[in-house]
Amino acid sequence: MSLKAFIYAYRKPGLSLEDFKKHYENHAELVKRISGEHFPLVHKRTYIARNTVEVALEGASERNALTPATVLVGKQSDFDFDAYAELTFADQAAFQAFSATIYAPDAAAQIAADEEKFLDKSKLGIVLLGDVIETFK
């Protein structure tokens, strides 16, 4: 049975939306190179739709005061993260092999150094997902 991990990513304060996306895409390639055959089956990254404004919207967070999310339901503060990623592994063993590879000292140091360039690691969240149920047309 496949295993999925979910990541909430926040850009480093002062980093533009464009630079965040560029760095995150390069980071995914770095992790792919480092993890080699243990890279997830799928590493899907989705970026929050944001607009740049000159005056902060009511309820906007300090970090996104001038780059509010395009919120349809909810509050600006509910969508303070800038991207989320879903990683899909064949099974628990594949996830453990990937983890062992990226947390090896040299690999972990390379990944951490790259993350410092674009992520606010104090807000980073990673969780394993439970049941995934999809409905298709």
What is the CATH number that goes with domain 3-49+81-128? 3.30.70.100
Please tell me the distance from the alpha carbon of residue 125 to that of residue 137, in angstroms, as a whole number: 32
Q: What is the pLDDT of residue 133?
A: 82
pLDDT, residue 104, reads: 98
pLDDT recorded at residue 82: 96
φ/ψ region of 116 (left if φ > 0, alpha if ψ in -120 to 50, else beta) reads: alpha
Domain ranges within the chain, ordered by starting residue? 3-49+81-128
Which class for 58: exposed (0-12), middle (13-18), buried (19 or more C-beta within 10 A)?
Answer: exposed
Residue 40 confidence (pLDDT): 98
pLDDT along the chain (137 residues), means of 10: 95 94 98 98 96 84 88 91 97 97 98 97 94 87
